[in-house]
């Protein structure tokens, strides 16, 4: 099957990948696997959940460092044709941050941003078996269980992503007056949500990735012990799950998610 429009990889761009690996593997139930990259590129460390690779960590390239880009998480969205998708992104008001680049003979990616400025990656693979690949269950410990867009115009962002990837609207929640949380679905399954950030938020539009842990209280304790910060939570969300929003020691933002019993 085509995975067009599905988030399939989650990558941390760090200042010090070795220290980041030590931090995250103590907080989230991840293993690591080192992959040799073709050419002169250094080896790439992949995150594994239940033995399956689902992301990676790398030292941030020199150019974004020079531009003052802080450490950050990037989500990769699968597409059937990168050039076609880039054209549609630009027609819809988004832009390319980089030109398409080869990871290998079969794999290609590029960095883009939506019209509000949230950054993500496009990914295309011609690898054998990719059509048969199935992601881990959302609630698998260590997997990315929820994907959230924090933006300055959620309605405009929805128009962009639904037109680009064919995402469908899921449940719309209004937990308080003036605040709307719009969930989105891919292939009939709810994968995440988006909302317009309140005026007091001091952050640019961005994607936030939630990773499943089995005991969120223990995980947030390890975040603090290892030099990170928990700036929100743990708190209960509708349905009984628990979430916490965190920064790693270099300032990259991520979230933890513990599912309610029976989910």
Q: Are residues 174 and 97 in the same domain?
A: no
- Give 98's pLDDT tier (boundaries 50, 70, 90): very high
Show the tokens assigned to 219: 């995980």
Q: Return the pLDDT at 1.
A: 47
**What CATH number corresponds to the domain at position 36?**
3.10.180.10
Q: Are residues 52 and 152 in the same domain?
A: no
Q: Are residues 167 and 199 in the same domain?
A: yes
Domain count, the chain: 2
- Give 12's pLDDT tier (boundaries 50, 70, 90): very high
Q: Is residue 22 part of a domain?
A: yes
Q: Is residue 139 part of a domain?
A: no
From 137, 138, 92, 98, select the one nearest 115 (Cα to Cα): 92
Q: Return the pLDDT at 130.
A: 59
Q: Are residues 104 and 194 in the same domain?
A: no
- Give 126's pLDDT tier (boundaries 50, 70, 90): confident
* Interval 176-213: pLDDT, tens: 777 899 999 988 889 999 999 988 888 899 999 999 99
Q: Is residue 99 part of a domain?
A: yes
Cα angle: 137, vertex 143, 146; to 5 degrees: 85
Q: Is residue 182 part of a domain?
A: yes
Q: Are residues 126 and 154 in the same domain?
A: no
Q: Find the mean pLDDT for residues 33-54.
A: 82
Q: Return the pLDDT at 129.
A: 59
Report the distance separating Cα 254 and Cα 47, nearest Å.
15
Q: Are residues 84 and 160 in the same domain?
A: no
- Domain that residue 238 falls in: 144-258
Report the distance separating Cα 148 and Cα 43, nearest Å.
30
Q: Return the pLDDT at 132.
A: 61
> Are 124 and 101 contacting, i.e. CB atoms less than 8 angstroms apart?
no
**Which own/partner contact pairs does 133-141 have at CB distance under 8 Å and 24+ positions apart?**
133/3, 135/6, 135/8, 135/54, 136/49, 136/50, 136/52, 136/54, 138/189, 138/191, 138/212, 139/212, 139/259, 139/263, 140/49, 140/50, 140/212, 141/29, 141/49, 141/50, 141/212, 141/213, 141/214
């Amino acid at each position: 099957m085509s995975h067009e429009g599905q988030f399939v990889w989650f990558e941390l761009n760090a200042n010090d990948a070795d220290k980041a690996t030590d931090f995250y593997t103590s907080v989230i139930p991840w293993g690591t696997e080192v992959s040799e990259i073709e050419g002169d590129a250094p080896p790439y460390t992949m995150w594994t959940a239940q033995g399956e690779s689902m992301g990676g960590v790398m030292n941030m390239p020199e150019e974004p460092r020079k531009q003052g880009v802080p450490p950050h998480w990037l989500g990769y969205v699968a597409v059937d044709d990168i050039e076609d998708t880039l054209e549609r992104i630009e027609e819809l008001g988004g832009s390319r941050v980089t030109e398409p680049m080869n990871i290998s003979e079969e794999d290609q990616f590029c960095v883009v941003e939506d019209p509000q400025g949230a950054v993500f990656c496009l990914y295309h693979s011609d690898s054998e078996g990719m059509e048969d690949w199935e992601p881990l269950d959302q609630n698998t410990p260590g997997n990315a269980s929820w994907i959230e867009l924090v933006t300055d115009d959620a309605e405009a962002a929805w128009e962009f992503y639904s037109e680009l990837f064919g995402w469908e609207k899921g449940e719309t929640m209004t937990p308080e007056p003036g605040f709307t949380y719009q969930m989105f679905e891919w292939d009939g399954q709810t994968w995440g949500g988006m909302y317009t950030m309140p005026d007091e938020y001091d952050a640019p539009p961005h994607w936030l990735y939630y990773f499943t842990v089995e005991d969120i209280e223990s995980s947030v304790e390890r975040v603090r012990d290892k030099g990170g910060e928990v700036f929100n939570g743990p708190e209960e969300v509708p349905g009984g799950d628990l979430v916490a929003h965190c920064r790693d020691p270099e300032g990259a933002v991520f979230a933890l998610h513990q599912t309610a019993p029976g989910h």
